[in-house]
Amino acid sequence: MNRRLPITLLHLDVHHARPEENRSNILAGVRKAARKGSRLIVLPEMAVSGYSFPSAQEAEPFAESLDGPTLAGLRELCTHYGVYCCIGMLEKDPETGLLYNSAIAIGPDGSTAAHHRKLAAERRWATPGNPYTRSWFDTPWGGVGMLVCADSYYGLPARTLALQGADLILVLANWPPQGVDPRIIWRARALENGVGVIGCNRTGLDQTMDCRAAASYAVTGEGEVLLNHSSHESRALPVQWPLIGGRMTSAQRQQILETRSPRHYSHLGRDTNGLEDTTHIWGSAPSSPVNIQMLVPERHPERAHAQIREVMASSGQAIVSMLPPGPLSASALGYAEGQAVPKGSTMIAGASNGNPFLVGPWGIHILSEDQGFHVAEVDGFRMALVRPQALLHPELAVSLAKRGCDLAFAPCLDLSPDLRTLLGVKCLERLPIALASPEESVLFLPPPGHEPWSELSQTRPGTLRIKLDSAAFRRRHIMDRLNLEVLCR
């Protein structure tokens, strides 16, 4: 029998440093949602204290332990109504005195079902969480995992939960509308793992953030948007989550995870903590800015031939040419096979007959059917040629970044909006991503912080020319707090 699971997101106006008022609103909201029949109730990040604290000294008075008044009240409500509740809060560990930005799940028996401490923690006051902690819990409808806000910015925390069996990932957020849009991130995390994602955001004004236009969002693993809502006032947002046979199905998840290649992910273990520049660390040599040209094919055959002649004429210059699958790539490969292999600092990449290839002064490398990527270097510029299907996995993007790659290029037969997002979002792992299809060539550049990434795109026939300063992207800040026991198996 197919039915739906009633879930409520409490999209709250959290008042900064007013815990009693916030706690009262939280308990009233949970009670009301439970009475209306919700089985799972989700609250935002740091829902009791508010978010913006400049120091541990200012945050500590508003921190609670797991035995504090907020969780005591929620345990009572969950037991009384037989519901699950997930809340984000400023936690103090009574044994160590350490402060955490935490998410706690309470089960219908009142016990702690799961406990997650934010991995991408606030440097001013918070201690980062342990990636090996159990951040997921079982329900009668399937597995549910938890992340806190910026944890979802990076691909591997969500992937870890999917590998551990989560059918639904809850992101407890305090994510203002300025900067990168979290809905793009949350949709990408859902599609790249084949699991549902719910982002419970907040509204109102914090000390340093305006969240009045911040959105809460729910999307299935197949990409169906069930909720996309913002409000200037507190709102209880209902979501009817689809069930099949009483379960949150994740057939898509299993299909996706079966295409992983853990043997290629060993570089995930490399430590980048504190590194300001990865030049020399992983065998990378200093690299001057590189001229990149990305081609969108001309429709007229003569003009298309002129494009190829221009590409081949660049031999001996410091140019990387990237071509979409199709006649342009086939012609370039044919020239190279006819002994016109580029010399000097030139590389040419494309795809012919379904197989990506890379041509350079060393010769020609064509990816075999079972090969997902190949890494090559010319004059200090290290580039990965990648099959699009392999790059869908965040493990590979991070591994390539930790191999010291300056760019990953994937030739695509078709670049649908979702595929474009799924591949482009990998630049958040601090790795520039280039994609070329017959209709569009685009370069995604990592932002310096949590700003939106940059996109340089060509959709008309012609050539997109870019000077890429790889040195700027070797100042990598990569998520290192990873459960390697799960990711590398």
Question: In this structure, are residues 42 and 86 in contact, taking their beta carbons and an 8 Å threshold?
Answer: yes
What would the pLDDT profile of 27-57 be if each residue is shown by its tens digit?
999 999 999 999 999 999 999 999 999 999 9
Mean pLDDT of 179-198: 97
What would the pLDDT profile of 102-125 be if each residue is shown by its tens digit?
999 999 999 999 999 999 999 999
Mean pLDDT of 86-98: 98
Which of 434, 373, 436, 425 has its CA nearest to residue 403? 373
Q: Which of 77-86, 304-313, 319-328, 369-378 has the lowest mean pLDDT?
A: 304-313
From the CB of residue 460, how many other CB atoms can be counted at a distance below 10 Å? 9
Question: In this structure, are residues 359 and 336 in contact, taking their beta carbons and an 8 Å threshold?
Answer: yes
What would the pLDDT profile of 296-314 be if each residue is shown by its tens digit?
998 887 887 788 777 777 6
Contacts of 161 (CB under 8 A, 6+ apart): 135, 136, 145, 147, 169, 193, 195
In this model, does residue 315 exceed pLDDT 60?
no
Q: Which residues pair with 434 in a beta bridge?
A: 409, 443
What mean pLDDT, rounded, does the chain reach? Answer: 93
Mean pLDDT of 203-217: 96
Q: How far apart are CA 105 and CA 54, in angstroms?
A: 27
In this model, does residue 438 exceed pLDDT 60?
yes
Q: Which of 181-185, 278-282, 291-295, 356-360 has the lowest mean pLDDT?
A: 278-282
Query: Domain 266-487 falls in which CATH fold?
Result: Nitrilase/N-carbamoyl-D-aminoacid amidohydrolase (3.60.110)
Specify the domain boundaries for CATH 3.60.110.10 within the chain.
Answer: 4-258, 266-487
CA dist 394 → 196, 214, 270, 293, 401 (Å): 17, 26, 15, 26, 11
In this model, does residue 1 exceed pLDDT 60?
no
In this model, does residue 316 exceed pLDDT 60?
no
pLDDT (0 to 100) of residue 362? 83
What would the pLDDT profile of 345-376 be if each residue is shown by its tens digit?
689 999 999 999 999 888 899 999 999 999 99
In this model, does residue 161 exceed pLDDT 80?
yes
Mean pLDDT of 128-145: 97
What would the pLDDT profile of 395-412 be if each residue is shown by its tens digit?
999 999 999 999 999 999
CA dist 280 → 61, 126, 283, 291, 347 (Å): 45, 32, 5, 22, 22
pLDDT (0 to 100) of residue 307? 84
In this model, does residue 389 exceed pLDDT 70?
yes
**Residue of 337 and 388 predicted with greater confidence:** 388
pLDDT (0 to 100) of residue 309? 78
Return the percentage of the chain with pLDDT > 90, whole number. Answer: 79
CATH of the domain spanning 4-258, picked from 3.60.40.10, 3.60.110.10, 3.20.10.10, 3.30.70.980: 3.60.110.10
- What is the CB-side half-sphere exposure of residue 312 using CA atoms within 13 A? 20
What would the pLDDT profile of 258-284 be if each residue is shown by its tens digit?
999 999 999 999 988 877 777 777 777
pLDDT (0 to 100) of residue 339? 57
pLDDT (0 to 100) of residue 318? 65
Mean pLDDT of 225-238: 98
DSSP string of 186-215, one letter each residue: HHHHHHHHTSEEEEE--BSB-SS-B-TT-E
In this model, does residue 454 exceed pLDDT 80?
yes
Mean pLDDT of 127-131: 97
Query: pLDDT confidence of 130, banded at 50, 70, 90?
Result: very high
pLDDT (0 to 100) of residue 345? 67
Question: In this structure, are residues 221 and 257 in contact, taking their beta carbons and an 8 Å threshold?
Answer: no
Mean pLDDT of 6-34: 98
Query: pLDDT confidence of 341, banded at 50, 70, 90?
Result: low
Q: How far apart are CA 94 and CA 251, in angstroms?
A: 42
β-strands 84-92, 40-42: how paired? parallel
Mean pLDDT of 196-203: 98
pLDDT (0 to 100) of residue 363? 86
In this model, does residue 90 exceed pLDDT 70?
yes
